[in-house]
């Protein structure tokens, strides 16, 4: 019985932390033994809810038994002890209250993970969630600021490739595939010897000469978007043209 409770506790905790959007952010930022404690914490919450729901069932049966025993003319002279039968009934060698408690725990977990309002956030709800969660992370906070205000971001990769553009979307909750979607304005690389930014492609000039914007047809700026894995990013900053010119920028020959 103890093994069954422990298994349901851990499975519910893992399923919830892997499925619920806001909890998945916390789970992704956790490492080592903290991962097990976080999973166990949410598992304990669902098991506790199952215990409370089972207690309510027992209280309901107790009240029903007392009510029926108080009215023998209606329900017969025999004693009605549904709450005692409930406690002594067994299913596959396990006491019925335990089975019902674990069933409630699984149902509460599935509800919170798949059917609750927090599990079905629309785009506006996701934006609010990202804004709240990014306050504790400077990197994600800067990316969210760019997404919200439309400011350009300067993204430098570990390979010294540089992308300057609008942050269209960022994924921070999928573990190994976290990525950043950019609409490029300038791309190039940072010269290792001179330290200046060398421009290879001026997308903004291309957009202007071909009347391309975010909503143009048949081709829009989204067709030129770049997907960058966050594991390859070395640094991110806001792009200030005046500041860039002061640091040095040149076109590739």
Residue 158 belongs to a domain with what CATH number?
2.30.30.100
Q: Are 90 and 202 part of one and the same domain?
A: no
- pLDDT of 5 > 70? The answer is yes
Average confidence (pLDDT) over 26-54:
80
Q: What is the DSSP letter of 122?
A: -
Q: Are 73 and 18 part of one and the same domain?
A: yes
The pLDDT value recorded for residue 238 is 84
Mean of per-residue pLDDT scores for the chain: 77
Q: Are 159 and 227 part of one and the same domain?
A: yes
Q: Are 95 and 193 part of one and the same domain?
A: no
For 9-19, how does the pLDDT look when each residue is reduced to its tens digit (9 = 90+)? 888 888 887 77
Q: Are 105 and 174 part of one and the same domain?
A: no
Where does the pLDDT of residue 134 fall: very low under 50, low under 70, confident under 90, or very high at 90 and above? low
- pLDDT of 246 > 60? The answer is no
- pLDDT of 219 > 80? The answer is yes
Domain that holds residue 115: 2-119
Where does the pLDDT of residue 218 fall: very low under 50, low under 70, confident under 90, or very high at 90 and above? confident
Split into its structural domains, the chain has a count of: 2
- pLDDT of 194 > 80? The answer is no
The residues that bridge with 171 in the sheet, in sequence order, are: 179
For 78-124, how does the pLDDT look when each residue is reduced to its tens digit (9 = 90+)? 777 777 777 777 666 667 788 888 888 989 888 887 765 555 555 56
DSSP letter string, 179-228: EEEEEEEEEEEE-TTT-PEEEEEEHHHHHHHTT--TT-SS--GGGG-EEE
Average confidence (pLDDT) over 40-51:
88
The pLDDT value recorded for residue 169 is 75
For 136-183, how does the pLDDT look when each residue is reduced to its tens digit (9 = 90+)? 667 777 877 777 777 888 888 888 888 898 888 776 665 566 788 888
Where does the pLDDT of residue 52 fall: very low under 50, low under 70, confident under 90, or very high at 90 and above? very high
Per cent of the chain over pLDDT 70 is: 73
For 122-133, how does the pLDDT look when each residue is reduced to its tens digit (9 = 90+)? 556 566 666 666
Q: Are 188 and 203 part of one and the same domain?
A: yes
Q: Are 32 and 131 part of one and the same domain?
A: no
Answer with the residue of higher pLDDT: 75 or 225. Answer: 225
Which among 22, 73, 14, 68 is positioned nearest to 41, based on CA atoms?
14
Q: Are 130 and 246 part of one and the same domain?
A: yes
Block residue for tokens 């409930």 = 86
Q: Are 127 and 245 part of one and the same domain?
A: yes
Domain boundary residue among 119, 138, 158? 119
Query: Between the CA of residue 227 and those of 18, 180, 183, 224, 232, what are the distances in Å?
Result: 24, 6, 9, 10, 11
Buried-exposed string 58-89: b where 16+ CB fall within 10 A, e elsewhere: beebeeebeebeeeeeeeeeeebbbbeebeee
């Amino acid at each position: 019985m103890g093994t069954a409770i422990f298994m349901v506790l851990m499975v519910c905790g893992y399923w919830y932390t892997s499925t619920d959007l806001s909890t998945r952010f916390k789970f992704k930022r956790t490492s080592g033994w903290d991962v097990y404690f976080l999973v166990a914490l949410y598992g304990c919450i669902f098991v506790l809810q199952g215990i409370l729901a089972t207690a309510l069932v027992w209280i309901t049966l107790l009240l029903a038994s007392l009510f029926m025993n108080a009215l023998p003319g209606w329900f017969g002279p025999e004693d009605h002890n549904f709450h005692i039968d409930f406690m002594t009934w067994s299913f596959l060698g396990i006491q019925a209250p335990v089975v019902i408690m674990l069933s409630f725990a699984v149902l509460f977990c599935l509800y919170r993970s798949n059917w609750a309002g927090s599990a079905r956030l629309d785009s506006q709800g996701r934006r609010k969630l990202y804004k709240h969660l990014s306050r504790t992370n400077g990197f994600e906070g800067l990316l969210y600021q760019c997404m919200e205000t439309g400011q350009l971001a300067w993204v430098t990769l570990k390979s010294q490739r540089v992308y300057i553009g609008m942050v269209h979307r960022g994924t921070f909750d999928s573990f190994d595939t976290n990525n950043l979607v950019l609409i490029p304005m300038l791309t190039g690389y940072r010269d290792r010897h001179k330290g200046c930014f060398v421009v290879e492609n001026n997308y903004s000039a291309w957009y202007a000469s071909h009347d391309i914007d975010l909503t143009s047809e048949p081709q829009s700026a989204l067709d030129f978007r770049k997907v960058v894995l966050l594991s390859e990013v070395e640094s991110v900053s806001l792009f200030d043209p005046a500041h860039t010119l002061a640091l040095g920028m040149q076109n590739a020959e």
